[in-house]
Amino acid sequence: MIKMAVLYHSKSGNTCRMAQAIADGMKMVEGVEARIFPIHEPDAAYLAESCCVVMGTPTYLASMSGEMKTWLDGDARRLGLAGKLGGAFATADYVHGGADLAIQGILSHLMVLGMLLYSGGGACGKPVIHLGPVALKDHLEEAEPVFRLYGQRMANQAVKIFG
Ligand SMILES: Cc1cc2nc3c(=O)[nH]c(=O)nc-3n(C[C@H](O)[C@H](O)[C@H](O)COP(=O)(O)O)c2cc1C
């Protein structure tokens, strides 16, 4: 089994719910174990063994949440994420509320941490997910299939590289 993790910040539960959908998609790929953790309660031993770590944030002021940024600036740097496959996702209230910018901000941090970035991009066909999946607060249920598919795509790529 290869291990994968989804780390998230979530104040009112939306981002947590979508983290679970991604992990569910990862687990649909044979030989993959996936778990989710709030950023402030990670299982360091499990993360050390994980070959892929995806991170999610609510969108705050067209950016990642302050909690996510503070965590990325500090604790995340001590998790030994270099060389692992990474990705990012966000939830938001509004379609034009800046979720892609929140995702892009996380992806920049993951590069600084030395991670390998992946989303599938346009190469996996439709539905196209360029930077990472976005779910809107009032449409979480309809976004879940896309989040599961993203999890599957991340897991398929992780198996190709690390399996
Ligand atoms: C301080 C604050 C700022 C926010 N700013 C935005 C924003 O700029 N754009 C947007 O679409 N939603 C914004 N939202 C809404 C959240 O991104 C959205 O409700 C999110 O799904 C909450 O995630 P959570 O339930 O995991 O905490 C904001 C919410 C808060 C509390």
Length of the chain, please? 163
Burial class (CB in 10 A: 0-12, 13-18, 19+), 148: buried
Residue in the structure block whose two tokens are 């930077």? 131
* pLDDT tens digits, one per residue of 82-93: 999 999 999 999
Question: Which of 68, 77, 89 is CA-nearest to residue 140?
Answer: 89
Mean pLDDT of the chain: 98
Question: Which atom belonging to ligand 1 lies closest to the Cα atom of 12?
Answer: 25
Best residue for ligand 1 mutational test, from 65, 93, 134, 141 (most atoms within 8 Å of Cβ): 93
pLDDT above 90: percentage of residues in the chain? 99
Q: What is the band of 159 on the pLDDT scale with cuts at 50, 70, 90?
A: very high
Q: Name the closest-CA residue to atom 27, ligand 1.
A: 11
Q: Rounded to two decimals, what is the model's pTM?
A: 0.98
Q: What is the band of 79 on the pLDDT scale with cuts at 50, 70, 90?
A: very high
Question: Which atom belonging to ligand 1 lies closest to the Cα atom of 14?
Answer: 25
What are the chain's domains? 2-154 (3.40.50.360)
Decide: 94 and 100 in contact? Cβ < 8 Å: no
Query: Rounded mean pLDDT of 126-149?
Result: 98
Question: Which atom belonging to ligand 1 lies closest to the Cα atom of 11?
Answer: 27
Looking at residue 55, its pLDDT comes to: 98
For the beta carbon of residue 96, count every other beta carbon within 10 angstroms: 8
The Å distance, Cα 63 to ligand 1 centre, comes to 9
Query: Rounded mean pLDDT of 51-69?
Result: 98
Looking at residue 93, its pLDDT comes to: 98
Q: Spell out which residues line ligand 1, taking CB within 6 angstroms.
A: 10-16, 58-62, 91-94, 97-98, 137
Which helix (H) or strand (E) segment holds residue 68: the answer is helix 66-73
Q: What is the separation of C-alpha 32 from the centre of its chain, rounded to a whole number of angstroms?
A: 16
* pLDDT tens digits, one per residue of 14-26: 999 999 999 999 9
